[in-house]
Amino acid sequence: MLVLISGFLAASAGLAQASDCESKAVGKNGKPLAGAAKTSFMKKCEAEGAGAAPSCEAKAVSKEGKPLAGAAKASFVKKCEADAKK
């Protein structure tokens, strides 16, 4: 029973986030986005709404633009998440 309820709550949160992103998917001209532009916007919106970890993970790149790995990545993500909570 508990698993069923927690699954329902997780699904509800996902739907609420999706509908929130859906309502924000509007172009500069005020018209709703469509096609590839909408798909791109929705992916970005949902990733940002998932919390600080995904955006911090995405920002974990070196000055050369290469993804960080190992201890450097862990340190960066830890600092990024701490800064996001402030």
- Whole-number Å distance between alpha carbons of 78 and 85: 11
For residue 36, the model assigns a pLDDT of: 93
The β-bridge partners of 26 are 32
Per-residue confidence (pLDDT) for residue 75, from 0 to 100: 94
Predicted local distance difference test score (pLDDT) of residue 15: 40
pTM of the predicted model as reported, rounded to 2 decimal places: 0.40
Give CA–CA dist 86/80, Å, rounded: 10
Dist. CA 15–CA 9, nearest whole Å: 10
Give me the mean pLDDT over the 21-35 stretch.
87
**pLDDT score of 45 more than 50:** yes
